[in-house]
Amino acid sequence: MSPYQLLNRDNLKKSNLLQPDSQSKLKLVDRKFPDLNTELMREKLLNWLNLALTANLFLVLLSFFWLAIAVVGKMAGVPLGLDLWYKLWEPLFTPAIGLLMAGAIISGIVSWVNKKLNSAT
C-alpha cells in the first residue's frame, strides 16, 4: 500500500486512529498530504479507465472471432450472422478498434512520462 492509501480518511477511521470527535488529526493529515484526495481520485480514474479498455479489448477480440466464424459459415453455406456483422462494423467495431489503439498509445505515453519523471527525482 502506498502512503496515500494508508493515510486516507477511511483507513484512519477503520483503524480507530481518527475518532469522530478528533477532527484535529484529520486536519493534520490534510495539511501533511494536501494532494491526498487528488492522488486517490487519479488512481480511481486510472483503474476505471483500465477496466474500460480491458472490456473494449474483449469486444474487439469477440468481434474478430465472430467474423472468422461467420466467414467460415458463409463458405459452408450456413448463415452465422455475417450480414449482421457487416451492419455493426461501422457503428460499433470501428470505434472500438480506434479506442483500443488510442488507449494503447496513450498508455505508452503516460508510462514513458512517468518513467522520465521518476528518474528525474
Comparing 106 with 29, the larger pLDDT belongs to 106
Give me the pLDDT at residue 7, please.
52
Number of structural domains (the chain) is 1
Q: Is the residue at 94 inside a domain?
A: yes
> Can you give the residue range of the structural domain that contains 98?
54-120
State pLDDT tens for residues 61-101. Answer: 999 999 999 999 999 999 999 999 999 999 999 999 999 99
User: Contact, 29 vs 36, CB < 8 A?
Assistant: yes
How far is residue 50's CA from residue 93's CA, in Å, rounded to a whole number?
A: 19
| 60 falls within a domain | yes
27 belongs to a structural domain: no
Q: Is residue 81 part of a domain?
A: yes
Residue 13 placed within a domain: no
Residue 88 near residue 62 (C-beta atoms within 8 A) = no
When pLDDT is averaged across residues 107-116 and rounded to a whole number, the result is 87
User: Residue 96: inside a domain, yes or no?
Assistant: yes
Residue, of 119 and 13, whose pLDDT is higher: 119
Residues contacting 25, CB < 8 A, separation 6+: 12, 17, 18
18-65 tens-digit pLDDT: 445 455 545 555 555 556 677 788 788 888 888 999 999 999 999 999
Cβ–Cβ under 8 Å, residues 64 and 89? no
Other Cβ atoms less than 10 A from the Cβ of 85: the count is 17
C-alpha cell at 62: 469477440
Q: Is 116 among the domain residues? A: yes
